[in-house]
Amino acid sequence: MAKVLVVTSGKGGVGKTTSTAALGAALAQLGEKVVVIDFDVGLRNLDLVLGAERRVVFDLINVVQGVAKLPQALIRDKRLENLWLLPASQTRDKDSLTDEGVRSVIAELRTKFDWILCDSPAGIERGAMLAMRYADEAVIVTNPEVSSVRDSDRIIGMLDSKTVKAEKGERVEKHVLITRYDSARAARGEMLSIDDILEILATPLLGIIPESQDVLRASNVGSPVTLNNAASAPARAYFDAARRLMGDTVTMMVPVERKGLMNRLLGRRAA
């Protein structure tokens, strides 16, 4: 049965798009059939992070307005045959997205995919509401930083009240994904710890993505980090998170860089 998962956060710049791309790719690499939808109308970026920016012809709004059929707008990844992208419109007004339009697009995608990942725009306005509206599950991307944790708490409140599931008296299954985590700084008491964040948000943990240069390097070249450098610490963390979404029990840990200092220096120079 298809699962609709929204990747959300409230706050901008915490890694929603990066995480959508990485989780979507990781699920596809693990054999699932995945579509990632960009809900950030006017500020689309998922196409760029996935390296598909020059292949966009039709978009979500075209489909919602009946200008294009869904299969015409879907872009299949060139490296992963199980991964598809439904891009956002870059030019249209963000009000062209309607509740009914989103409902029908998601209903159609449910018949074709195992996973439908909705990359939410930042904020708590219409776009973010529509991205979470039909979700079965939610990944709340949180940085170990006060403003991000506060906004995550607000978004959790919305997931519990404004989604179709919540309105039917059911629950959206929520998971916190902590990104940009620096375990050394947390150990020195300079950064909120995992336990602090989980206690405050009272929501189960999906994974811990360490702060890493590999993430920027991957987006620079338009390739999800799980594909660009599958052995890197953030890629392994995203693979673990994807396995947990699939129902596997994976021991929680903060992956660390495997390279030695010399290798790291050399690797940095080569990149």
Is 71 a residue that touches another protein (CB under 8 A)?
no
Task: Indicate the burial class of 61 (C-beta count within 10 angstroms; 0-12, 13-18, 19 or more).
Answer: buried
Among 54, 168, 188, 269, binds another protein (CB under 8 A): 188
Q: Is 200 in the site for another protein (CB under 8 A)?
A: yes
Report, in Å, the least distance between residue 168 CB and another protein: 20
For tokens 């307005």, the residue is 65
Binding mask 143-172 for another protein (x = CB under 8 A): --xx--xx--xx--x---------------
| Window 92 to 111, contacts with another protein (CB under 8 A) | none
Stretch that binds another protein, among 16-24, 108-116, 185-193, 203-211 (CB under 8 A): 185-193
Pairing mode, if any, of strands 75-76 and 83-86? antiparallel
Taking the least distance from each CB to another protein, the nearer of 2 and 166 is: 166
Give me the least distance between CB of 190 and another protein, in Å please: 6
Least separation in angstroms between CB 146 and another protein: 5
Closer of 202 and 253 to another protein (Cβ): 202
Binds another protein by CB under 8 A, chosen from 63, 192, 225, 241? 192
| 82/203 with CB nearer another protein | 203
* Residue among 54 and 188 whose Cβ is closer to another protein: 188
Residues that bind another protein (CB under 8 A): 145-146, 149-150, 153-154, 157, 186, 188-193, 196, 200
